[in-house]
Amino acid sequence: MLSRHPERCRFPHGHTRTIEVVVSGTQLDENDMLLDFKALKLALTEYFDRYDHAMAINSTDPLLPTLMAMYPENAVVVFDNAEPTTEKMAEDLYRFTEHVLAQGFTSGPYVIRPGQVQLDRVRVWETPQSWAEYSA
């Protein structure tokens, strides 16, 4: 819901989003990979999935208290004093991914070493024709 939008986007609506994470680096690992994509997926999926089947809403939207009372906590994603646009989602996902890549990640045999790769951008597709991209 985009509470400040002048038309239909101010009402609850959904999108089928695709998220694209682009990383780069200068050195391949012992498996001749820059980064194991499975490790990246494991590191990001839980955070990225919080947008799936959730209501994204501005913290200043007057409907927030009603929605929080109606739905489980994990079904509402609150953007602090910001509209939950695709652009803001791209920025949020970029910041999270940047943190993971800087700190590193390990899950069984899947490892991302701190600083192993550089995050170039996060692109969030709202529709097959529309997207927003965030980079530092």
pLDDT at 115: 93
Q: State which H helix or E strand residue 76 sits in.
A: strand 76-79
Dihedral angle, C-alpha 57, 60, 62, 67, nearest 10 °: 40
pLDDT at 3: 66
pLDDT digits 0-9 by tens, 69-116: 998 878 999 999 999 999 999 999 999 999 999 999 999 999 999 999
Q: State which H helix or E strand residue 98 sits in.
A: helix 86-103
pLDDT at 1: 60
pTM for the whole structure: 0.88
pLDDT at 16: 76
Q: How far apart, in Å, do the first and last CA atoms of the chain sit?
A: 26
Structure-token match 């609850």, residue found = 12
Radius of gyration of the chain (CA): 17
Domain limits, the chain: 8-134
8-134 to CATH, choices 3.30.479.10, 3.40.50.11270, 2.60.40.10, 3.40.50.300: 3.30.479.10
- Written as six digits, the tokens of 95 are 């910041």
Strand partners for 24: 118
Examine the pLDDT at 2 and tell me if it is beyond 70: no
pLDDT digits 0-9 by tens, 47-72: 999 998 888 999 999 999 999 999 88
